[in-house]
Structure 1
Amino acid sequence: MKKKYQGVVVPLVTPLTETYRLDVAAVEKMLANLQANEAMPFVLGTTGEATSLSLSVKKAYTKAAARLKSANTVLYAGISGNCLEESVELANYCFDAGVDVVAATLPCYYALSDDQMKRYFEQLADQLHGPLIIYNIFATTRMSIPIPVLDELSFHPNIVGVKDSERSTERLEESIALWANRPDFSHFMGWAARSAHALMAGSDGLVPSTGNLFPGIYRDMLKAVEDGDEEKAFYYQNQSDVFGHVYQSGRTLGDSLWALKVLMQENGLCGTTMMPPLQQLSKSEETQLKASFAEVLMKEEIQL
C-alpha cells in the first residue's frame, strides 16, 4: 500500500555563509543531489539546526527549497518551537510558500502531562492550513510522546503521520501494529540504525541524516525491501551504519552536525559554518575526520 507520505525523507543541514545567512547556491546542490536519488527534502529539522535559526533564515530556506522542488517532490518543513502562535504562523507561511507537509516536536521547556501533549498537538493542527507530522525525539525534548496519545491524535484530520526518533524496538513494533495498514497515517523511522528492520516490519519511510551525503543508500535499501531481498537491505544498512559512525561516533549531537557538514564539503555540497551556539571544531579534528572519511570511501569502494 503506497501512502501519500512515505519513502526516503532527508533531514537537510542548513548551509550557511560565514555571515550566517542562507547559502542558496549550496541549497541548489543539495536539492539536486536528493532529486537524482529519489529522496524528498525536509528542511528546518534537528539536523538543520532549526532551533538556532532566525525567522528570516527559516523563511529564506523555505522559499529556496520550494522554488527548487520538482513536480514529484514532497517538501517537508519543521515548525517546532516553544510558542504555539509562532509555530502556527511559520507553518502557514510554509504552506503558502509551497511546502507540502510540516513537522513539529513538543515544546521542550516545561515537562508536559499526556493530556497537555495531546491538547498541544490538537491546538496546533486545528489552526494549520495543511497536514502535520508529529515528531517524537526524546534526545532533544527530553519527553516521549506515549503511543496511545499518538494513536488518538492520528485520527485528527490534519495529522497525517509520526516521525519517531526514539530508540526503542518495543515502540517500533507497537507503532507498526497500529499504523502499517492505516492509509491515512504514516510512520517514519528516525532511528538510523534500525532503518532496514523498520522498513521490513512495515514502516512507511525513513528520515536519515546520512542521506545528506548518500541518499542513494536509502533509495536502494527501500528498493531491496520492496523486492523482498533481506540480504541486500542489510548490506545497505551496514553502509548507513559505517558512514554514520564516521561523523557521529564519540560526538555530541551538535558536534556531529558540524562533522556532517565537513563531509558534505568534501562532497562539494556546502560549507562548514555552524549557527551559534554550535561551533566549528578545530582544524586538526577536521583533518582527522576527512582522513577517516577517505579511508571509509576507499573501503566501501564509493567514489565522490
Structure 2
Amino acid sequence: MSSRQRRQLLLAACASAVLALPGAASAADKLKVAAIYTVPVEQQWVSRIHKALTAARARGEIEYVFSENVANADYERVMRQYAEGGNGLIVGEAFAVETAARRVAKDYPKTAFLLGSSGKPQAPNFSVFDNYIQEPAYLSGMIAGAMTKTGTIGMVGGYPIPEVNRLMNAFMDGARATNPKVKFMVNFIGSWFDPPKAKEASFAMLDKGADVMYAERFGVSDAAKERGKLAIGNVINTQDKYPDTVVASALWNMEPTIDAAIKAVRAGGFKAEDYGQYSLMKFGGSELAPLGSFEGKVAAEVMKKVREKEMTFKAGKATIAPVDSEPKSTP
C-alpha cells in the first residue's frame, strides 16, 4: 500500500470517528429541545412558549419534549435528566429556581439553556428571556381607560414580581393617557394558576364599582362575564371564549425568541445573552390583539391615538420603559 493510500484511509477513519462523536450532527438532523414548566401548558405564560416550540416541531426543525406541573423541588432533577438525555436546548422558567437552574447550566456547559429569568445571562450557556410586552399592555390600557363608565378599573395578578408589575404599570399608564381621572383596585392572589381565587378577587372589585377588569390571571374574565362587565386580556387572546366581555388583549409571541435561540444552537453560536428584546413589538414578539367583536365599539378618536402609538412601537421609534415596582391601588 502506497503512502498516499495510507493517508486516504487515515483521513477516512478520522472523518468516521468525528461523525460518531456524541452530539455531532449534520445540518439535516433535528435539534433535540426539552422544556420544563412548573404549571400546566394551558396557563397563559407557559402556553406561549409551548406554542412557539410546537410550531418549530411542526416545521420539522426540532424534536420537542416537555414536562409540565413540575414542582420547584423537582426542577433541578428534571433539568439534569433532560441534559443527560442529549437535548441541545433546554427551555423553561427559572424565576423560583434561579440558583438550581444556574447550577445545572454550569455542570453542562455544552448544553444551551434559555430560561425565563429576572436575572442576567450566565456565561457560557445560560441565556435569559422575559415577557417584555409592556408596549401592547400600554395600548390595551388606553382602550380600558376609554371604556370604563364608573372610572374604576380592577386588576388581579398572580404575584407582584417584575414580570407582572411592569405589565400592570404600563397598562395603568395607558389608561391614564385616555382617562386621567381613572382609579385602580389592585390585588395579587399569590398563585400562578388558581382561577377560582382570581374570580373571587374579581367579584370583590366588581362589587366595589369596577366595571373593567384587567385579567392578568385566568378566572378574572369569568367574573366579568357573569356580572356583565368588561375585561382586558393578557398574554393570550381569549375573546373567542368571551366575545361580549374581552375588549382587547396584549399578546405575547414567543416565536421570535425561540426561533433565534434554535438558529443560534444549530449554527454553533449559542452564548449567554438576554433574549428579552425579541418580545418587543418591533421584533413581532408582542402585539395588540384585534378588537374583533368590539370593533367599532371603542371611540374612534381613542382608537386613532392607539393606532398612532402602536405604529411608533412597531417602527422602534418609541417604547415603554419597564417599571418593575409593585403597582398599588388608587388611594
TM-score (normalised: structure 2): 0.28
Greater fraction of residues in strand: 2
Larger Rg: 2
TM-score (normalised: structure 1): 0.30
